[in-house]
């Protein structure tokens, strides 16, 4: 069975410091992995996705994520946090060749301290 675990429900960092949001997945098949962001009172937006090309994926707003098969991880990082990054982030997994269903993590709320 497929599942995805976001290891932190909340992450708090100071503006200008690195961001790390952790995600581990379980999948019997070759996974596709996504990170979505949800700003307060706004819809979900795709940050980046991994679909079997390069293992280091660059997304919007300076975020990137690295697919590590041996660790079954897909952690999201950013070198320097900005106040506008405050939002909730969701890690999502599906498998190639499957149906249209996505498996969603519970979300990580990113708090940026001035």
Partner 1 sequence: DVKVTQSSRYLVKRTGEKVFLECVQDMDHENMFWYRQDPGLGLRLIYFSYDVKMKEKGDIPEGYSVSREKKERFSLILESASTNQTSMYLCASSSRTSGASTDTQYFGPGTRLTVL
* Positions that interact with partner 1 (CB under 8 A): 9, 32, 34, 41-46, 49, 51, 90, 94-102, 104-107
Considering the complex, what minimum distance in angstroms separates the CB of residue 35 from partner 1? 12
Minimum distance of partner 1 from residue 58's CB (angstroms): 15
The minimum distance between CB 105 and partner 1, in angstroms, equals: 6
Handedness of CA 75, 77, 81, 84 (dihedral sign): negative
| CB-nearer residue toward partner 1: 102 or 114 | 102
Of residues 2 and 77, the one with the C-beta less far from partner 1? 2
As a three-state string, the secondary structure of 60-114 is HHHCEEEEECCCCEEEEEECCCCHHHCEEEEEEEEECCCCCCCEECCCEEEEEEC
Cα gap 6→42, rounded to integer Å = 21
Pick the closer one to partner 1 by CB: 19 or 105. Answer: 105
């Amino acid at each position: 069975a497929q599942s995805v675990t976001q290891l932190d429900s909340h992450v708090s960092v100071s503006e200008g410091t690195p961001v790390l949001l952790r995600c581990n997945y379980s999948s019997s098949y070759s996974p596709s992995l996504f990170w979505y962001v949800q700003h307060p009172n706004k819809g979900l937006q795709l940050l980046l996705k991994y679909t079997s090309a390069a293992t280091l994926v660059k997304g919007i707003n300076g975020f990137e994520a690295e697919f590590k098969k041996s660790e079954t991880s897909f952690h999201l990082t950013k070198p320097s946090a900005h106040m506008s990054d405050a939002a909730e982030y969701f890690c999502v997994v599906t498998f190639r060749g499957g149906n249209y269903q996505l498996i969603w993590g519970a979300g990580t709320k990113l708090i940026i301290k001035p």
